[in-house]
């Protein structure tokens, strides 16, 4: 009598792990709030010392740190904890690449709210967080986004500046659509000392971008244009328009309306540089890009992560002559360069 291969037998553990996934994000959020990764990086490497540094109980610290080891965010030898390479670079606040601030946006109650009603959003085909979700005018979430996500966007901003060869480029006039923290336009201005940047967004969000521009020493070449990107007058003669993490919020007709407006603002030979999550044609790979559509379903009326074929069609419909897709590893996003 033949027996089934145990490796092929159904196993409930994956389902168990998915159902408990919220515990992982909660543990990481707690570790960031307690500043465990910075403390370990500064030499507090056992539970008792960490408890003193982080104003916590030794028992609670031991249990949380052991859990972080199972997530490959800490190492453990005997009773001594250490940082994994990822944690050392991205979670230690003494690292220039630290992205710990992102927890205040990604782990916010407002972002979690949309995921409390996924079944309702699926039934409706869009967010149930009010008629416009996070897209309502002057929504406070975008100030939180601008302040929390700037460190996370520093790397792709530098990668875009490098890809566009900003350091050796001629004088540029740049428009940064829905600039948020402003890191993308600021990076271009830092690398190209002849670049002038015009940033659009809600007024309270642009205040954050201006803070970052001053800190980067480019405020003299950084101008703001408050208001909705769909309503404000851009002007003309731009060599480059940045459309970063924006198109996924809207349906294709709305995207095309914006892209036509952007094209009219570009100088002859100008380019649109779009950064976005771009899943493959199968819509299930790569995982981060594919999963982002659910975020848009839960927080916007009609947004999703579009495939390159869909984005290319939008640009073509809006009158662009050519669009090219470029990977930006290790970022999960892609850069699309579209010619006017």
Q: Is 15 exposed, middle or buried (0-12, 13-18, 19+ CB in 10 A)?
A: exposed
Domain range 106-339, CATH architecture:
3-Layer(aba) Sandwich (3.40)
CATH number of 6-94: 1.10.10.10
pLDDT digits (tens, 9 = 90+) for 184-199: 999 999 999 999 999 9
* Closest C-alpha to 103, from 38, 201, 27: 27
- pLDDT score recorded for residue 277: 97
DSSP state of 332: S
Q: Of 54-68, 103-117, 172-186, which range is least confident?
A: 103-117
pTM metric for this prediction = 0.90
- pLDDT score recorded for residue 3: 55
pLDDT band at residue 123 under the 50/70/90 scheme: very high
Enumerate the CATH 1.10.10.10 domain ranges in the chain, comma separated.
Answer: 6-94
Enumerate the CATH 3.40.50.150 domain ranges in the chain, comma separated.
Answer: 106-339
Q: Is 136 or 312 the better-scoring residue by pLDDT?
A: 312
Q: Please state, in angstroms and as integers, the Cα–Cα distance from residue 255 to each residue in 3, 205, 296, 315, 316, following that order.
A: 55, 21, 14, 9, 12
Answer whether residue 2 shows pLDDT above 60.
no
The helix/strand count (H/E) of the chain reads as 15, 9
Judge contact between 70 and 112, C-beta under 8 A.
no
- pLDDT score recorded for residue 138: 81
Cβ within 8 Å of residue 17, ≥6 positions away:
none
First to last CA, the chain: 68
Judge contact between 339 and 328, C-beta under 8 A.
no
CA 196 vs. chain centroid, Å, equals 24
Give the β-pairing of 334-339 and 266-276: antiparallel
Mean pLDDT of the 86-112 span: 92
**Would you state the structure tokens that stand for residue 84, as one six-digit string?**
């994994």
CA 63 vs. chain centroid, Å, equals 30
């Amino acid at each position: 009598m033949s027996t089934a291969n145990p490796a092929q037998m159904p196993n409930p553990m994956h389902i168990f792990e998915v159902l408990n996934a919220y515990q992982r994000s909660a543990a990481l959020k707690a570790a960031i709030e307690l500043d465990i990764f910075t403390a370990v990086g500064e030499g507090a490497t056992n539970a008792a010392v960490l408890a003193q540094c982080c104003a916590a109980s030794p028992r609670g610290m031991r249990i949380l740190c052991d859990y972080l080891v199972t997530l490959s965010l800490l190492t453990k030898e005997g009773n001594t904890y250490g940082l994994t390479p990822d944690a050392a670079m991205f979670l230690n606040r003494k690292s220039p690449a630290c992205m710990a601030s992102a927890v205040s946006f990604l782990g916010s109650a407002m972002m979690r709210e949309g995921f409390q009603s996924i079944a309702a959003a699926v039934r409706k085909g869009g967010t149930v967080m009010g008629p416009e979700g996070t897209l309502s005018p002057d929504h406070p979430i975008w100030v939180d986004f601008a302040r929390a996500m700037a460190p996370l966007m520093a790397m792709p901003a530098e990668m875009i500046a490098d890809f566009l060869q900003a350091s050796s480029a001629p004088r540029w006039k740049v428009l940064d659509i829905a600039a948020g923290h402003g890191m993308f336009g600021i990076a271009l201005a830092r690398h190209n000392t002849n670049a002038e940047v015009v940033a659009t967004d809600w007024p309270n969000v642009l205040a954050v971008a201006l803070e970052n521009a001053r800190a980067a020493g480019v405020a003299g070449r950084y101008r703001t244009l408050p208001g909705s990107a769909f309503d404000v007058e851009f002007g003309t003669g731009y060599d480059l328009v940045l459309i970063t993490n924006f198109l996924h919020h809207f349906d294709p007709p709305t995207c095309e309306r914006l892209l036509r407006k952007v094209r009219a603002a570009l100088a002859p030979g100008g380019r649109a540089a779009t950064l976005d999550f771009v899943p493959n044609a199968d819509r299930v790979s790569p995982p981060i890009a594919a999963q982002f559509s659910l975020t848009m379903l839960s927080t916007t009326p009609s947004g999703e992560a579009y495939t390159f074929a869909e984005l290319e069609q939008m640009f073509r419909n809006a009158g662009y002559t050519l669009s090219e897709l470029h990977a930006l590893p290790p970022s999960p996003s892609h850069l699309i360069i579209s010619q006017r």
